[in-house]
Amino acid sequence: MEISDLKAELEKLHPASFGWALSCCRRNHADAEEVLQTVYLKILQGKAIYRGESKLQTWLFAVIRKTAMSERRKQWLRTLISIPGTTSVVHNELESESERSEMQQRFQQALAQLPARQRETLHLVFYQDLSLSEAAEVMNISVGSARRHYERGKKRLRATLDREGVDYGIEWRRKENSGAVL
Amino acid sequence: MELSGDEKRIQALFSELSLEDQTRAPRFEKLWLRAEASATAPAPLVTRLVLVATVVIVTMSFVAVRSWLSSSQSQQVANIPAQIIPTTAGPRLQHSELSTASRNVARPRRFARRQTERTAITQAAMLSNWQSPTNILLNSPTVSVLSSLPQLNQSARDLEQFLPKKNNELLKESKQ
């Protein structure tokens, strides 16, 4: 694939890619932006080559995931040797925290409590609308494992939401039937 | 994928999250241009420093290993006792016979001869220090008895030690 064609395709996938990068970076806006930029750099330098063996989206998401993991490792090393000026920007998250609805905040907190694999599977299925086999391909695991993570993650998320927010269902019903008396 | 009631709820929450993310997402062009700029930029100073340091360390370790090897070889040669080695050199040529052309050829020959002498010295040293692994079997606890002469009356005195006391006294009296 020519770089100009690839660029056009990447542009189409950009919002979804950013959402996935955010999920891989534990909802840190600055980190997600950096990861996505690094991914584009890898593509430009030819370090990440799309060979057409799978869907472009699954390939791109796999690259984003790997890059986010290596960036996280680097950050961990930096914190170990504590180089000044390398602490990640957390204030972005705090600023936007107040803007979110209470329900959304609770949902994100519940998501954050999930193990990484479960969170990733749920994100790929519900947010990115991928099938379980595609999600497995992105995460480089078997379909069986992806299904297990999906089921466990769903169960755990539901339990956390039920425990933390009693009005989880009420809020939902309010959205679905705004005229209904609760 | 068919979604049930709970799954639909979760998907609704995720789609709300996705809408929120889309409003906050940076522009594609911005990230792409930044990536292009850093792709053309030279390697950062830290990377270059790390590369230089790696090259220096590798070179230094190579030199150190080389010098250590050569010093250990020279020590081995120094420890060898002086021995007379039969020279294998052929009949000596007279100076008059040596032409300038043959002098040039003689240098590598001399070097080769030195090499053979050196190997002969090391081999001789190894042979002189060699001990048979079965050498220990030749030693026995009775070696000292066999290698020394017995004294006169020694066996009689040895016997007295084993006799009972009374007998000893009687013997003494009888002697007196």
B4 occurs within a structural domain: yes
Q: Looking at the complex, report in whole angstroms how far the Cα of residue A36 sits from the nearest Cα belonging to chain B.
A: 8
Write down the pLDDT at residue B48. 82
Residues B30, B66 within the same domain: no
Residues B16, B58 within the same domain: no
Residues B49, B9 within the same domain: no
| Cα–Cα dist A109/A100, whole Å | 12
> Of all residues in chain B, what percent carry a pLDDT higher than 90?
18
Residues in chain A within 8 Å Cβ distance of B18: 19, 127
Q: For residue B142, give the DSSP letter.
A: T
Residues B9, B64 within the same domain: no
Residues B52, B117 within the same domain: yes
Domains annotated for chain A, with CATH where assigned, are: 1-88 (1.10.1740.10), 100-182 (1.10.10.10)
Query: Is the whole model's pTM more than 0.80, yes or no?
Result: no
Decide if B83 touches A, using CB distance below 8 A: no
Cβ of A18 within 8 Å of Cβ of B39? The answer is: no
- Provide mean pLDDT across the span A117-136: 93
| Cα–Cα dist A174/A171, whole Å | 5
CA B92 to chain centre: 42
Residues B55, B115 within the same domain: yes
Residues B67, B114 within the same domain: yes
Write down the pLDDT at residue B86. 54
B60 occurs within a structural domain: yes
B108 occurs within a structural domain: yes
| Cα–Cα dist B147/B143, whole Å | 6
Measuring CA to CA, which residue among A164, B47, A71, B46 is closest to residue A79?
A: A71
Residues in chain A within 8 Å Cβ distance of B6: 154, 158
Residues in chain B within 8 Å Cβ distance of A7: 32
The 10s digit of each residue's pLDDT in A38-66 is 999 999 988 899 988 889 999 999 999 99
- pLDDT at residue B56 greater than cutoff 90: yes
ipTM confidence score: 0.76
Write down the pLDDT at residue A181. 39
Write down the pLDDT at residue B39. 82
Residues B28, B62 within the same domain: no
Q: Indicate the number of domains in chain B.
A: 2
Residues B50, B65 within the same domain: yes
Residues B72, B3 within the same domain: no
Residues B52, B119 within the same domain: yes
- pLDDT at residue B81 greater than cutoff 60: no
B64 occurs within a structural domain: yes
| Cα–Cα dist B87/A99, whole Å | 98
Residues B106, B37 within the same domain: no
- Provide mean pLDDT across the span A150-157: 93
Would you place residue A89 in the very low, low, confident or very high pLDDT band (cuts 50, 70, 90)? very low
| Cα–Cα dist A110/A106, whole Å | 6
Q: Which domain holds residue B108?
A: 45-78+102-127
B90 occurs within a structural domain: no
